[in-house]
């Protein structure tokens, strides 16, 4: 059973390996301004956007101007989405007659979708109108992913340019990423999902009679279109509260595989984009390998832990079997999982959605074993760089590359170099800022929520499991993941406000640090590689990079993880559950 459950993630990884070179090459051409096979169809759309915004595509920006444009666009998006939620009761395409969204919840949701987090403190099918879902949430699914892609490309430009003062044009990068990359892929995936039975309509909820004679409300809505960009854009916010566990969003194992592939394919493909744009494909494959090693380790741990089942229940099953009964959890821990997916697909989805910044779920993480639940929690806390979100995963991992290069330079006793650029104090300080923002926000807010009544009153469980629920919530929001461990009532004024702060800081402070790194590197002259230059495309460097990611995560979060899922696992040996 365990071997069969590990076959699917292996096939998934092979599919990603096959798709990475062509998709990465295509994205490189698009973001480099080259003509592609889609330009005859979508080129007029791109030019229309430029004319509407009165943009000059060839006019580039400094990193500060790039950052200002990004912040202004994002702030305007938050305001617009907030207003749309507040007035949705007065607008059309509201078949179920939903009224205005609560102010605190509307703020949290607006910040959530604009920051590519898609944390949901609401019931989608009972809160948002079709218009809000399409014109508000789905639109932000596109543009928030486009923002991450734009920042990643800006950082790569900083690495490749010499004595430059500019790193590109934010508006051009955003437009190209959305029009030529995210939109066509979403149309393709939505068509495939509709062919497999995912709902796509404008219907209100319908009351039907079941075979047993009971009544049930079946929701409708434009689901397939939002499901596609939800996964491809590493967004994660589902139209329904059950997310990808809902049969209308994810009907069968085939759609489940397509959704997992969709949430992984662009982040991994961007490593090939990186390799092409810096002129060395081996550089891209080195970053790919580091991401894949961490992802594979997390998937394997989750699947093995869930297949082993809950040790307390397993011991009870052994005793029951000895007495002539049936053993408990003979097939592993299926609690909180859909039978149409099973342990393998559920564990793979859980590790993949938290390794990216997607946040979609097809199972109930709160019902995982202590070690199984540790995987999605720890995967988020590593910074979501394996492979991370659209753009965010690549620039997050490249920050770790910079740090690894600096450490390697210290080892050989010379100024570290990265692709011909000397890594100096300014870049290292900015990298440290980009890395430390997330743990600072997560640990501070978790500490407050763990001791204040307004925080602890929302827990479902006591003890270490309750701490994990709170930790996961802030880790998910600060890392702009959006998945919920569940078990925590997040729709309160306290969690809506603190969550909004966590999402905003976790998104934009690292982005500003990354853009500053890009500007600093772009202004440098390239130096030729020498005998002391540490190569950044070898297996040795991949090992160093993986070690840096794991060590930084372990040093930062081991104490709180020890108080949460680790101690919960150890206490289970005494027969105690939480």
Annotate 508-562 with DSSP letters as a single string. HHHHHHHHHHHHHHHTSPP----TTPPPSSSHHHHHHHHHHHHHHHHHHHHHHHI
Whole-number pLDDT of residue 321: 47
> Considering the domain boundaries, does residue 52 fall inside one?
yes
Contact present, 245 and 363 (Cβ < 8 Å): yes
Task: Work out the pLDDT band at 50, boundaries 50, 70, 90.
Answer: very high
Least confident of 140-149, 152-161, 319-328: 319-328
452 pLDDT more than 70: yes
In a domain, 255, yes or no: yes
Q: Treating both helix axes as pointing N-terminal to C-terminal, what angle do 281-308 and 392-412 enclose, rounded to 10 degrees? A: 110
Contact yes or no for 530/440 (Cβ under 8 A): no
**Domain-located, residue 436:** no
Q: Which of 443, 466, 442 is nearest to 456 (CA)?
A: 466
Distance spanning both ends of the chain, measured CA to CA = 28
* Mean pLDDT, residues 159-187: 96
Would you state the pLDDT for residue 137? 92
CA distances from 445 to 68, 382, 498, 499 (A): 27, 18, 7, 9
Q: Is residue 221 part of a domain?
A: yes
Got the DSSP string for 264-313? HHHHHHHHHHHHHHTT-HHHHHHHHHHHHHHHHHHHHHHHHHHHH--HHH
Average pLDDT in the chain: 91
Say if 147 falls within a structural domain.
yes
Question: What Å distances lie between residue 420 and 24, 35, 416, 526, 536, CA to CA?
Answer: 23, 29, 10, 5, 11
DSSP H helices, 457-492, are 463-478
Count the domains in the chain.
Answer: 1
CA distance 405 to 176: 31
Residue 55 lies in a domain: yes
- Whether 13 maps to a domain, the answer reads no
Residue 201, domain extent: 22-206+217-279
Confidence band of 240 (pLDDT split at 50, 70, 90): confident
> Whole-model pTM?
0.93
343 domain residue, yes or no: no
Query: What stretch of H or E contains 417?
Result: strand 417-418
The CA distance from 495 to 243, in Å, is 21
Closest CA to 283 of 507, 529, 553, 508: 529
197: which 2 tokens?
């039975």
417-418 and 421-422 beta bridge pairing: antiparallel
């Amino acid at each position: 059973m365990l071997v069969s459950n590990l076959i699917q993630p292996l096939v998934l990884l092979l599919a990603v390996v096959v798709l990475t070179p062509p998709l990465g090459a295509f994205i490189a051409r698009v973001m480099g301004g080259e003509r592609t096979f889609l330009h005859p169809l979508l080129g007029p759309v791109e030019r229309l956007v430029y004319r509407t915004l009165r943009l000059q595509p060839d006019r580039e920006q400094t990193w500060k101007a790039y950052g200002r444009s990004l912040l202004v666009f994002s702030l305007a998006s938050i305001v617009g989405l907030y207003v749309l939620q507040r007035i949705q009761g007065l607008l059309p395409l509201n078949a179920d007659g939903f009224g205005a969204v609560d102010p605190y919840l509307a703020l949290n949701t607006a910040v959530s979708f604009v920051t590519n987090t898609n944390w949901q403190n609401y019931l989608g099918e009972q809160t948002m109108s079709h218009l809000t879902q399409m014109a508000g949430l789905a639109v932000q699914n596109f543009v928030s992913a486009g923002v991450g892609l734009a920042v990643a490309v800006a950082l790569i430009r900083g690495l490749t340019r010499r004595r430059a003062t500019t790193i590109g044009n934010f508006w051009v990068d955003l437009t190209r990423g959305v029009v030529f990359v995210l939109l066509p892929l979403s149309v393709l995936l939505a068509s495939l999902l509709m062919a497999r039975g995912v709902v796509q309509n404008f219907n209100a909820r319908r009351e039907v009679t079941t075979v047993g004679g009971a009544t049930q409300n079946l929701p409708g809505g434009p689901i397939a279109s939002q499901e596609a960009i939800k996964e491809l854009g590493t967004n994660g916010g589902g139209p329904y509260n059950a997310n990808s566990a809902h049969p209308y969003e994810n009907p069968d194992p085939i759609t489940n595989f397509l959704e997992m592939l969709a949430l992984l394919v662009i982040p991994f493909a961007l490593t090939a984009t990186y390799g092409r744009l810096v002129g060395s494909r081996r550089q891209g494959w080195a970053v790919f390998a580091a991401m894949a090693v961490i992802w594979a380790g997390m998937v394997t741990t989750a699947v093995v832990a869930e297949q082993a089942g809950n040790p307390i229940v397993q011991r009870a099953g052994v005793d029951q079997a000895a007495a002539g009964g049936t053993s408990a959890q003979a097939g592993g821990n299926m609690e909180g999982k859909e039978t149409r997916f099973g342990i393998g697909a559920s564990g793979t989805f859980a590790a993949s959605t938290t390794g990216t910044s997607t946040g979609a779920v097809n199972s109930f993480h709160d019902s995982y074993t202590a070690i199984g639940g540790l995987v999605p929690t720890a995967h988020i806390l590593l910074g979501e760089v394996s492979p991370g979100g659209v753009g965010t995963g690549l620039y997050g991992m490249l920050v770790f590359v910079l740090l690894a290069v600096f450490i390697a330079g210290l080892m050989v006793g010379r100024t570290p170099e990265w692709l011909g650029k000397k890594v100096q104090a300014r870049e290292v300080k900015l990298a440290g800022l980009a890395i430390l923002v997330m743990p600072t926000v997560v640990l501070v807010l978790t500490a407050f929520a763990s001791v204040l009544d307004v925080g602890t009153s929302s827990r479902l469980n006591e003890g270490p499991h309750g701490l994990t629920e709170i930790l996961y919530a802030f880790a998910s929001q600060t890392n702009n993941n959006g998945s919920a461990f569940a078990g925590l009532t997040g729709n309160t004024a306290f969690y809506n406000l603190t969550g909004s702060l966590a999402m905003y800081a976790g998104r934009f402070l690292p982005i500003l640090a990354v853009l500053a790194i890009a500007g600093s590197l772009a202004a440098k002259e390239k130096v030729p590689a020498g005998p002391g230059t540490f190569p950044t495309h070898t297996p040795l460097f991949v090992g160093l990079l993986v070690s840096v990611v794991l060590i930084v995560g372990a040093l930062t979060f081991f104490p709180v993880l020890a108080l949460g899922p680790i101690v919960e696992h150890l206490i289970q040996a005494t027969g105690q559950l939480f």
